[in-house]
Amino acid sequence: MTFHLHSQLEKDCISIGRLALCRLLLMNDKQFPWFILVPEIEEITEIFQLNKQQRGLLIEESSYLAERLKTLYKADKINIAAIGNLVPQLHVHHVVRYHSDKAWPAPVWGKFSAIPYSGQNLQIQ
């Protein structure tokens, strides 16, 4: 089955890459460095619906991403979550958090409206 990214993720995010299992998205919200992994498998809403090999890939890709974000952004914490109450397609949030950020210590979900990047401050390298 061909994989289609959910229209809400298409709308809210910028697609920046692909790993073995997942598409890597950047949430278009400059308030937080916020990345999302979406396994490119149709009709999956919960992690347990992936097969064991896919689950292994997911946690490895998530950990690869989280470790690099921690270093690159000098993060105080990485918040990782599969929520999916509004967008059913399985997607895993990875949010770079600082003690000084505007939501700390609360989670970021549902807190603030997104403030999109402008062309100048979005440079994919």
Please report, as ranges, the residues that interact with a copy of itself according to CB under 8 A.
45-48, 50, 52, 55-56, 58-60, 62-64, 66-67, 70, 77-86, 97, 104-107, 109-110
* Ramachandran region, residue 63 (left: φ > 0; alpha: ψ -120 to 50; beta: rest): alpha
**Cα 121 to Cα 104: distance, rounded to the nearest angstrom:** 23
The neighbour count for residue 68, using CB atoms within 10 Å, is: 13
Q: How far is the CB of 93 from a copy of itself (least distance, A)?
A: 8
Which is nearer to a copy of itself, 109 or 117 (by Cβ)?
A: 109
Q: How far is the CB of 16 from a copy of itself (least distance, A)?
A: 20
List C-alpha distances in Å: 77 to 43, 70, 113, 123: 31, 7, 21, 24
Q: How far is the CB of 44 from a copy of itself (least distance, A)?
A: 12
Which is nearer to a copy of itself, 11 or 99 (by Cβ)?
A: 99
Q: How far is the CB of 47 from a copy of itself (least distance, A)?
A: 6
Helix (H) or strand (E) holding 23: strand 22-27
- Angle made by CA atoms 65, 68, 70, in degrees to the nearest 5: 105
Which is nearer to a copy of itself, 41 or 80 (by Cβ)?
A: 80
